[in-house]
Amino acid sequence: MLEINCPFCGKRAQKEFSYVGDASITRPAPEESTDGDWFEFVYLRDNPRGPHDELWHHSSGCRRIIKVRRDVVTHEIIATGVPSDSLSKSAS
């Protein structure tokens, strides 16, 4: 089982969290987007290998959204932070 370090609550078991999605994708602006922009946003995803930024919801804890940098091959949690953070290997 993974342990995720919530920036608000500390280390917690993965079962307290729900996966939200890819943290590198930006939602299209409603007034400036086309149907094609929305199609890409909803349906087209990369399948990265290695470190990847994800959003997780601490559903059984503080109920906040956090950003997790995780290696999708080894499942190692590299860093965690708030969604506005730029995560690097040295952060945790």
pLDDT tens for 45-62 read 888 899 999 999 999 999
The reply to whether 31 falls in a domain is: yes
Domain that holds residue 53: 3-81
Looking at residue 89, its pLDDT comes to 54
The reply to whether 91 falls in a domain is: no
The reply to whether 87 falls in a domain is: no
Task: Report the candidate in 46, 60, 57, 61 with the shortest Cα–Cα distance to residue 82.
Answer: 57
Looking at residue 47, its pLDDT comes to 87
Burial grade of 69 (CB within 10 A; 0-12, 13-18, 19 or more): buried
**Considering its fold, how many domains does the chain have in total?**
1
The reply to whether 27 falls in a domain is: yes
Is the pLDDT assigned to residue 88 strictly greater than 70? Answer: no
The reply to whether 86 falls in a domain is: no
Q: Where are the alpha helices (DSSP H) in the chain?
A: 35-43
Is the pLDDT assigned to residue 91 strictly greater than 80? Answer: no
CATH number of domain containing 25? 3.30.2270.10
